[in-house]
Chain A
Amino acid sequence: GENVEQHPSTLSVQEGDSAVIKCTYSDSASNYFPWYKQELGKGPQLIIDIRSNVGEKKDQRIAVTLNKTAKHFSLHITETQPEDSAVYFCARTGGGADGLTFGKGTHLIIQP
């Protein structure tokens, strides 16, 4: 699949502050963009996703924005809490039965 670039690789924020993780992609056929959270010793878990016909989606403290023209999408976490510490992966797919192409992950550290 087409590459997905994810930045930063590590992000440390103070508890209560916001965290933003960004991803860019190259395949204009991409139409589904999920974000996964992986805690130590567990498989990735879907936390939010967005489809190409939507520019923004929110779920409580988590939001995702998509700019199809610029081919980038971002994860925003507000009022960060210790349990937000994990590795976060962005991904994309052309849809249907196709597999996901993942970014290389961001290790988010919430400092008390």
Chain B
Amino acid sequence: DVKVTQSSRYLVKRTGEKVFLECVQDMDHENMFWYRQDPGLGLRLIYFSYDVKMKEKGDIPEGYSVSREKKERFSLILESASTNQTSMYLCASSPGTSGSSYEQYFGPGTRLTVT
């Protein structure tokens, strides 16, 4: 089974803090993604990466950055956390650019509260 793990299930941070959310996948997947999920808005893509050290902006990248130094790990960084970044953050991975590569597998999510 594909396993995508996220470093924390719940996180509480203060406004202005730098926040790191970590995601690790164990299936040697090429692609990794970060989404945020908010009530009534569904899931929205923040950033994705199709290779080590590569990154692409999603639909809502403002206020976020990412890092992918190793294939299995994709980090989401909130440079200066704000209250409007309180949300559920979901990491996903998918195999590659051929065959069944489109299928994305999600982690359990990190619920971040910024006070």
Contact = CB atoms under 8 A, between A and B. Distances in A.
Given A89-B42, A102-B44, A43 B30 contact: no
Interface string B1-25: 0001000000000000000000000
B106 A104 contact: no
Interface in B45-84: 45, 48, 50, 56, 58-59
Q: Which of A44, A46, A95 has the most CB of B within 10 A?
A: A44
Contacts of A103: 42
B33 A99 contact: yes
Given A43-B107, A44-B90, A97-B48, A34 B42 contact: no
Contacts of A91: 43
Interface residues of A, number: 26
Contact of B42 (A43, A95, A105): A105
A93 B102 contact: yes
Interface size for chain B: under 10, 10 to 19, 20 to 34, or 35 or more residues? 20 to 34
B115 interface: no
Contacts, number: 67
Contacts of B106: 36, 43-45
Contacts of A1: 45, 58-59
A103 B41 CA distance: 8
Q: Which of A43, A95, A100, A102 has the most CB of B within 10 A?
A: A43
A100 B30 contact: no
Interface of B: 4, 30-31, 33, 35, 40-45, 48, 50, 56, 58-59, 90, 92, 94, 97, 101-109
Interface of A: 1, 6, 32, 34, 36, 41-46, 49, 89, 91, 93, 95-105
27 contacts: A1-B58, A32-B102, A34-B102, A34-B103, A43-B4, A43-B92, A43-B106, A43-B108, A44-B90, A46-B104, A49-B102, A89-B42, A91-B43, A95-B102, A96-B101, A96-B102, A97-B31, A97-B50, A97-B94, A97-B97, A99-B35, A99-B48, A99-B59, A100-B45, A102-B44, A104-B41, A105-B42
